[in-house]
Amino acid sequence: AKDRESLTAAMRALDRVLRARRDWIPSWYLANHRSAYWDMFGFPEQKPDFGFPVEALWWVDKGKAAKIGKA
């Protein structure tokens, strides 16, 4: 970017793209994978033993989502 304003606009655009996706980082030599996400999601208190993967049970918590970008 040639100036701070252009950099800020580009970073905000990238932020929107990344938040629209569900990214994960493959770790072929570890026993599990790591996920990156914004802390704007709610989770059930008790997760089911069988059935859906935990990421299918997330929902957007409007209170948490409103705080993103205000820090």
Tens digit of each residue's pLDDT, the chain (71 residues): 899 999 999 988 888 887 777 666 677 787 877 776 678 888 878 777 777 776 677 888 888 888 886 75
The span from the CA of 40 to the CA of 27, in Å, is: 25
Q: What pTM was estimated for this model as a whole?
A: 0.37
The span from the CA of 1 to the CA of 54, in Å, is: 39
User: Which tokens go with 53?
Assistant: 């993967």
The span from the CA of 36 to the CA of 11, in Å, is: 17
The span from the CA of 66 to the CA of 38, in Å, is: 12
